Chain A
Amino acid sequence: MSDSNNHSPMFDYQPALPISNGKTFMWLFLSTEIMFFAALIGTYIVLRFGALSWPSTHDVHLAEIWGAVNTFVLICSSVTVVLALEAAKKNNPSSAKGWMLLTLVLGTVFLGIKMFEYRAKFSHGLYPQSPHSQIYEKPDVYYAQAVRMRLLDLKKSLLEKTERTEAEEERIALIDKISLDWVEPAEKAIRKKPDSPEGRKLLFMLSDKIYPRASIHDHRAGANHAAAAGPTFTLASTAGDSASSAHPVGLNDQHPWLRLPIMIPGGNMWVSTYFLLTGFHALHVIVGLIAFAILLKMTLGPAKAGLIENIGLYWHFVDLVWIFLFPLLYLF
């Protein structure tokens, strides 16, 4: 991976490429990395565009702005690496070190933002599958049941307290209201006549009340929502989408402490691919940061230029991957 691993050669060789072994090695390594990310990104693309439904960024609390900022941060760090290399070549170790330090800081900032984004997902229960996941792909009896259980849990813990504040009393009232007005009618209807259209509609409305974001994408041709909905039923999200960019507000947004199960068609696949892609990218960032930290311990003169160049190549590649991940994950 780096020239420092090279031993002193004993013989004359006739290299085929006019570059050092380290650089050859790095470029070969990068071409394998292309294949690695091709598999991951390819998976994402086919799974996503073949899916019947896919959440929009708002459904899953993905803010484009942070993706863009992160893109910017990585681009900056790419520049600083290049400048560090230039400085090292010009035999200016202290300036090289400065640029390198800046790169390290930028990389850390990237990871920080990424962590912040992950936290936002986790706090809304957007995990792949159980046990923490709050995602339900469709509103059915199990969904209603899960909502009821969550409400019961919340209520129980509130009731256990001997001294309740005003706010807590209000919470209890709200819980009762949700149970009575939304959960119970839906569950009753569906119990009375399994799978009746009325029951299913009530369930759907329950989920829409809690989390009115299950927006419909145009590639969801097969689902044919709008037609089925007819005049009697309008999704809050569709209404909101066309009129303005304001996010529709549901119970979970109004009262974050509720953390009720949420219905996001295609949600599980979304979390799967999102964490897969960004996770492996973040791992690569971490490896890069470790490399920078090691570099920082050295005197970054011309003797180290080859090493800096190789690690820089790797870092640019990590940047490249993000350049593609950003539109694919945030803008599409």
Chain B
Amino acid sequence: MSTVTVDAHSDDHAEHAHASGFLRTYVFSLDHKVIGLQFLFSTLIWFFIGGMLALGIRWQLAYPWAPMPILGNLVGAAEGGQIAPENYTMLVTMHATVMIFFVIIPVLAGAFGNFLIPLMIGADDMAVPTLNMLSYWFMWPAFLLIGGSFFVEGGAAQGGWTAYPPLSVFASQGQTLWLLGVTFVGISSMMGSINYMTTIIQMRAPGMTMFRLPMTIWAMFITAILQAFALPVLTAAGFMQVADRLLGTGFFLSDGATANNMAMASGGGQPLLWQHLFWFYSHPAVYIMILPAMGMVSDILSCFARKPLFGYKPMVYSISGIAGLGFIVWGHHMFVSGMNPMLGMSFMVATMMIALPSAIKTFNWLGTLWGGKIEYTTPMLFAISFVSMFIIGGLSGIFMAATPTDIFIHDTYFIVAHFHYVLFSGTAMAVFGAIYFWYPKMFGRMMNDSWGKVHFFLTFILLNCVFYPMHILGMQGFPRRLADPYQYETFQNLLPLNQFMSVCAFLLVGIQIIFVINFFGSMFFGPKAGRNPWRSNGLEWQAPSPPGHGNFDFQPIIYRGPYEYSSPEVEEDYYPQTQPPPEKAEESSV
């Protein structure tokens, strides 16, 4: 490959080697590992903020209109700590925005994607490091815009994270900032995803064929494709909404639109247009938010079951299937939106079919556990719980995919239950697991396993207490995004259950302190990890912990797939990808 890049600057290398300045090393670093960690820290901080916003929501649902202690001031409630109705919608909107655009997407693609891709394929860095760095720094305008929008007049966006016009077109200034912020996140993800694709296509170590890639990399690859094709549509739609708000165009306003009893002269468009364009991105986006987690879970499961991943190729095909089908199901969010019922029917069939690749993945995970020798480390516990929880979240998706039932459960807490099960109990738990798993590689030290288990135990119990009851709330028709649902006689009996859930939610956020202490404490006091503390096969574990500049201190050459645990060919129960087969062992020494 070195012959391809004919014009590599000769001074480039020197610059890398003498990267001594603090700014160059830690802030505007071109090193994918540093960029990955920057993403990780930023997203953890936003995770905390998103959690606080969730507590605001839960407080209002448990004790409607009661002044909120302490938090009230933090989450921008009115005087006296009471949450005004418009602030409630703001909380909901910003909670979802922060969680999705600032936590889940950047932590998966940004943090783990950046950190792991070059390490796992045997590259020294990304294909275009400069753009990689920019992809992190383009998050900052978004952080500032959306963080700042809390302080503008009228507060942050209040149109729901789906920002449906016409409401969002008439909304206060915060909505413009929201749109711009999301656009910046989009630009950042774009740069990242094209970079990942190029890197994975072109920069794999010799011997690392596509079908020897770890599932994590496959998932990141497919995710990048999803992002690359879906995001531009959201960006275009976002610009159109900005134009509707600022320039008086009428893409999403119908003729004769009125707002706040004022007429709008612009019009001619159609509110449903936004929904189509938005979900064209945001449905693939939900898979962007789960595929990398699935990939990482596959790696962790196989490693601690000490057993090859069951059905590697079907797994790969099913991820690709999810990606392909993911583009033709977006209409399932719009079954009752006024969409043409014929379209609804075809989207329903496609949605049903998308459960199929997920089913294949689920069964293969179970097959991986079957007949293994399971080590219950913290990452493994999170990974198993991912499988268990994803099944719940996925199965509730079937109810909604069935169009007639969706008429009833659309926009109720059944939906809220569904996506928290896939997003929080699924992805976020997988992210916790991945942090415990790759922490030694990131920082060269182990996290405390016992405290990790305590953290897992409490999180697991509490999250089920918070989110499982939402199913039956939804069954009763309890609507989403309602500041005071107890206005309706029908829902008054649900208050005690909501209070229980809220208490659990508060505890859930509270006990995360265990994780925070473990995370930061282990950086300084954790036991030193060797290169391969988990006795794992992955290529990344053959590099030093933490890997230095250029990642590997040897030329990686790959002999097999990443899941050859307990192979009869070797003594140990693992068989690293770089270890030459026995007969060749003499020729090369690692």
Q: Do chains A and B touch in the complex (CB under 8 A)?
A: yes
Interface set of A (CB-CB < 8 Å, partner B): 1, 3-17, 20-21, 24-25, 28-29, 31-33, 35-36, 38-40, 43, 46-47, 50-51, 127-130, 133, 137, 266, 268-269, 271-273, 275-276, 280, 303-304, 306-307
The 5 closest A-B pairs by CB, nearest first: A129-B248, A269-B268, A272-B249, A36-B232, A39-B236
Q: Closest A-chain residue to B7, C-beta based?
A: A303
Besides A13-B205, A35-B229, 9 other A-B contacts (C-beta < 8 A): A5-B129, A7-B129, A11-B552, A21-B5, A31-B228, A43-B277, A50-B270, A128-B243, A137-B268
Question: How distant is B15 from chain A, measured CB to nearest CB, in Å?
Answer: 9
In the complex, B450 has a CB within 8 A of chain A: no
Point out the residues of chain B lying under 8 angstroms from A10, CB to CB: 124, 550
Question: How distant is B238 from chain A, measured CB to nearest CB, in Å?
Answer: 10
Point out the residues of chain A lying under 8 angstroms from B535, CB to CB: none
A307 CA to B9 CA, complexed, in Å: 14
Q: Is the CB of B210 within 8 A of A16?
A: yes
Binds A, one of B85-93, B193-201, B354-362: B193-201
Q: What is the interface of chain A mostly: helix, strand, loop, or mixed? A: helix
Point out the residues of chain A lying under 8 angstroms from B231, CB to CB: 32, 35
A236 CA to B127 CA, complexed, in Å: 63
Which of A32, A39, A266, A303 is the one whose CB lies under 8 Å from B237?
A39
Point out the residues of chain B lying under 8 angstroms from A47, CB to CB: 251, 268-270, 273
Q: Closest B-chain residue to A131, C-beta based?
A: B248
Question: How distant is B557 from chain A, measured CB to nearest CB, in Å?
Answer: 8
In the complex, B233 has a CB within 8 A of chain A: yes
Point out the residues of chain A lying under 8 angstroms from B210, CB to CB: 16
In the complex, B336 has a CB within 8 A of chain A: no
The verdict on A20 contacting B277 (CB below 8 Å), with A129-B248, A276-B240 known, is no
Q: Closest B-chain residue to A36, C-beta based?
A: B232
In the complex, B190 has a CB within 8 A of chain A: yes
28 CB < 8 A contacts A-B: A7-B16, A9-B5, A9-B123, A11-B205, A12-B2, A13-B122, A16-B201, A24-B197, A28-B194, A31-B228, A32-B190, A35-B233, A36-B233, A43-B236, A43-B240, A47-B273, A51-B268, A127-B248, A128-B249, A130-B265, A133-B248, A137-B267, A137-B268, A272-B243, A272-B251, A276-B249, A280-B239, A306-B7
Q: Closest A-chain residue to B121, C-beta based?
A: A13
Residues of B in contact (CB 8 Å), total: 68
The verdict on A25 contacting B194 (CB below 8 Å), with A5-B131, A128-B247 known, is yes
Point out the residues of chain B lying under 8 angstroms from A36, CB to CB: 232-233, 235-236
Which of B197, B207, B233, B269 is the one whose CB lies under 8 Å from A269?
B269
In the complex, B206 has a CB within 8 A of chain A: yes
The verdict on A13 contacting B203 (CB below 8 Å), with A36-B233, A129-B249 known, is yes
In the complex, B334 has a CB within 8 A of chain A: no
Question: How distant is A239 from chain B, measured CB to nearest CB, in Å?
Answer: 27
Point out the residues of chain B lying under 8 angstroms from A271, CB to CB: 249
Q: Is the CB of A129 within 8 A of B5?
A: no
Chain B 231-259 interface mask (CB, 8 Å, partner A; 1/0): 11101110110010001111100010000
A40 CA to B325 CA, complexed, in Å: 23
The verdict on A13 contacting B251 (CB below 8 Å), with A28-B228, A39-B233, A43-B240 known, is no
